[in-house]
Amino acid sequence: MAGRWRAATVAAHRPETPTARTLVLRVPDWPGHLAGQHVDVRLTAEDGYTAQRSYSLAAPAVGDLIEVTVQRVPDGEVSPYLVEVADVGDQIEIRGPLGGWFVWRPDDPAPVVLVAGGAGIVPLMSMVRTRRMARAKALFRLLYSLRSPAERYYSTELGSHQAGDGGLDVFLAYTREAPEGVTRPPQRLALSEINTHGLPPDSAPTCFVCGPTGFVESAANALVALGHDPRRIKTERFGPSGGRP
Ligand SMILES: Cc1cc2nc3c(=O)[nH]c(=O)nc-3n(C[C@H](O)[C@H](O)[C@H](O)COP(=O)(O)OP(=O)(O)OC[C@H]3O[C@@H](n4cnc5c(N)ncnc54)[C@H](O)[C@@H]3O)c2cc1C
């Protein structure tokens, strides 16, 4: 059924940062999805021109409500509409859920290392929220690389301890500007930090890495260099950017 386009209505939206927002979409008869899966979104202009892009599901479904979080890409065709124009009541089309490899199931007891670059936090946040909702006990280590405090998604939720989040540790790596009081100088996520704030290869964690292509490649290489089994490293690339998030 994932191949069928479905009508989705914007039920709500909320800003995450000045350039990103979460859209809550109502999709009648949504079949449910796994943490890590994505949907394709299709927009149709009045003249019939269509454009479609992929967006990760940001949270477990609540009935027929699903969430995506979209980062505005300057001069992009689809993301500026979703971040700045789409409003409550508007209709778009979606297809999904899609993807069967980059997924986490709450009944999997294996420990998990999550490495996010920029908007790559979205499917990893879905895993964190799914774990919380299921009261799952698998150890989670989240390393989140971002440019500045202003670009931090889900800051309230990831910044304070939430019931059900025991066993989740979050490490923030600011690459360009750190908030006051943070002693780590702004710099790229280092291999030594993945070592310290991740989990040892001996514990055989499943590693999920998501973000811009260049970020994903360097983080996955670092995990391999630290001794993690490449078969347990799952990656999702969001876009062509090789720049640091
Ligand atoms: C499986 C998957 C899941 C994704 N999940 C998300 C998500 O949860 N949230 C999210 O915001 N995006 C996500 N993306 C990226 C998304 O699909 C689009 O690529 C992005 O929104 C840009 O689309 P656009 O139409 O605005 O830009 P386009 O019109 O496609 O591109 C405009 C310009 O920006 C460049 N560009 C395109 N994509 C990116 C990018 N990601 N980063 C930097 N530059 C880019 C292009 O090379 C081009 O120069 C995901 C991609 C994949 C493959």
| Strand ranges in 139-232 using DSSP code E only, listed in sequence order | 140-146, 168-174, 206-211
pTM: 0.95
Task: Decide: 223 in ligand 1 pocket, CB within 6 A.
Answer: no
Q: Which domains does the chain have, with CATH numbers?
A: 5-98 (2.40.30.10), 112-237 (3.40.50.80)
Determine whether the shortest distance from the Cβ of 239 to ligand 1 is under 6 A: yes
State the residue for tokens 């939720």. Answer: 157
**Bond into 74 cis (ω within 30):** no
Instruction: Tell me which residue has tokens 């090789």.
Output: 242
Q: 16: burial class by Cβ within 10 Å (0-12, 13-18, 19+)?
A: buried
Q: In this predicted model, what pLDDT tens digit does every residue of 187-202 receive, in sequence order?
A: 999 999 999 999 999 9
**Residue 65, Cα to own-chain centre: how many angstroms?**
17
What percent of the chain shows pLDDT beyond 70?
96
Average pLDDT over residues 169-174: 95
| For ligand 1, atom 52: residue with the closest CA | 238
Q: Write the residue with the smallest CA distance to atom 24 of ligand 1.
A: 76
Task: Give tens-digit pLDDT for 9-46.
Answer: 999 999 999 999 999 999 999 999 999 999 999 999 99
- Within 10 angstroms of residue 228's Cβ, the number of other Cβ atoms is 22
Indicate whether residue 67 lines ligand 1 (CB < 6 A).
Answer: no
